[in-house]
């Protein structure tokens, strides 16, 4: 375990750009934080989870899958360096694990894993949440971890790659440096997590009527913000683009909140109403994913609730659901 001073963060990550394509939270001119490269703005590991989906570094909003030149030869779109991504919280790592399972299922997504398999993941924890809140440790679900303690960062390596990077730092941390951090609450077991679990039980038992989804859908303006920030949303569409010197096939994120999401060529639309689409958004995460993957597709990161302009993020919807259709114990949890 090594020590890194906050003022040395930028130089440390700049040093790593010789071997890695580094992506980490940076401070933008408008005060927001987003993934960027060293030099794009001040390094901003502190502040809690990034507002945007962290899995975008492996599954971009739009990306070229392959390109053909005028002779029919394929142009390579592979990265020259492996990625090093810093800034995942413990909860973000659970979302990343879920995305890994999705892209490995059936036909393995080589475009996703071309980035993911070579990547080094660095988590953040300790007193680096919003307003200095304590974020739980990752539990080793990454290569490297930056733990904010007092006026410095502890750097913990969990893999061989992580150890090689940590070895670049000269100063060893004392053995008791993590005292107090180890008592942080687990990433699961929050009140919102209990609420999500209670709502999942209601959906599994088919206790939520159609009228509820019609009521929720009346507030939806189809901005698709919920899908754009959700780390476990993986739906995408495909398109081919023809240029003077090449043809490109690319994919772009899709949203289950849009009317054309499941519209068929013949005109039939299994999700032809906003109520059906809203139901699908919640039901998919809390019921269908549990059947398919053995776990919920929502890890209560809070992003959809933070971004929804009409207050129908997943926690808000589950609170109304449990209050309306749950048992007395569940209603108490819903507040």
165 & 203 share domain? no
209 & 174 share domain? no
- How far is C-alpha 134 from the chain's CA centre? 19
> Is 9 a member of any domain?
yes
SS3 107: coil
Burial of 235 (0-12, 13-18, 19+ CB in 10 A): exposed
30 & 57 share domain? yes
Residue 304's domain comprises 191-235+270-334
136 & 196 share domain? no
148 & 18 share domain? yes
> Is 214 a member of any domain?
yes
Q: What's the pLDDT band for 189 if we cut at 50, 70, 90?
A: low
> Is 167 a member of any domain?
yes
107 & 229 share domain? no
136 & 46 share domain? yes
> Is 52 a member of any domain?
yes
> Is 244 a member of any domain?
no
Q: Look up residue 304 and give its two tokens.
A: 């959809």
Q: What's the pLDDT band for 162 if we cut at 50, 70, 90?
A: very high
32 & 89 share domain? yes
- Taking the whole predicted model, whether its pTM rises above 0.75 is answered as yes
Asked if residue 188 has pLDDT above 70, the reply is no
Burial of 30 (0-12, 13-18, 19+ CB in 10 A): exposed
Question: How confident is the model at residue 330, as a pLDDT?
Answer: 52
> Is 242 a member of any domain?
no
Asked if residue 72 has pLDDT above 80, the reply is no
Average pLDDT value for the chain:
90
DSSP annotation of 232 reads T
Residues of the chain with pLDDT > 70, as a percent, come to 93
Asked if residue 147 has pLDDT above 80, the reply is yes
Q: What's the pLDDT band for 125 if we cut at 50, 70, 90?
A: very high
pLDDT, one tens digit per residue, over 98-112 is: 999 999 998 899 999
121 & 208 share domain? no
Q: Into how many domains does the chain fold?
A: 2
Q: What's the pLDDT band for 178 if we cut at 50, 70, 90?
A: confident
Instruction: State the Cα–Cα distance between residues 286 and 210, nearest whole angstrom.
Output: 17
The CA-atom distances, in angstroms, between 31 and each of 39, 141, 162 are 16, 30, 30
- How far is C-alpha 84 from the chain's CA centre? 16
Q: What's the pLDDT band for 180 if we cut at 50, 70, 90?
A: low
Q: What's the pLDDT band for 140 if we cut at 50, 70, 90?
A: confident
Instruction: State the Cα–Cα distance between residues 285 and 68, nearest whole angstrom.
Output: 37
294 & 155 share domain? no
């Amino acid at each position: 375990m090594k020590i890194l001073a906050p003022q040395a963060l930028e130089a440390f990550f700049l040093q790593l750009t010789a071997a890695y394509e580094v992506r980490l939270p940076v401070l933008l001119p408008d005060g927001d934080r987003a993934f960027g490269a060293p030099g794009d703005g001040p390094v901003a590991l502190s502040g809690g989870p990034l507002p945007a989906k962290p899995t975008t570094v492996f599954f971009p909003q739009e990306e070229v899958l392959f390109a053909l030149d005028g002779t029919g030869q394929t142009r390579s779109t592979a990265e020259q360096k492996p990625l090093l991504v810093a800034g995942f919280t413990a909860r973000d790592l659970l979302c990343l694990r879920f995305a890994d399972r999705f892209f490995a299922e059936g036909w393995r997504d080589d475009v996703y894993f071309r980035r993911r398999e070579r990547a080094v993941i660095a988590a953040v924890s300790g007193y680096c949440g919003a307003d200095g809140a304590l974020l739980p440790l990752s539990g080793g679900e990454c290569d490297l971890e930056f733990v904010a303690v007092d006026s410095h960062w502890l750097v913990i390596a969990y893999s061989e790659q992580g150890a090689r990077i940590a070895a670049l730092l000269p100063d060893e941390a004392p053995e008791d440096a993590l005292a107090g951090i180890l008592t942080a609450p687990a990433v699961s077991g929050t009140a919102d997590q209990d609420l999500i679990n209670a709502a999942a039980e209601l959906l599994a038992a088919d206790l939520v009527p159609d009228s509820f989804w019609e009521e929720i859908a009346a507030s939806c303006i189809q901005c698709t913000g919920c899908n754009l920030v959700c780390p476990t949303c993986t739906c995408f569409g495909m398109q081919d683009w023809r240029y003077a010197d090449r043809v490109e096939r690319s994919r772009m994120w899709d949203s289950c909140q849009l009317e054309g999401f499941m519209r068929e060529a013949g005109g039939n639309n299994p999700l032809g109403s906003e109520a059906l689409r809203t139901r699908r958004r919640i039901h998919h995460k809390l019921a269908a994913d549990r059947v398919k993957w053995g776990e919920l597709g929502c890890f209560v990161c809070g992003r959809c609730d933070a971004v929804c302009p009409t207050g129908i993020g997943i926690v808000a919807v589950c609170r109304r659901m449990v209050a309306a259709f749950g048992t007395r114990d569940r209603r108490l949890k819903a507040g």
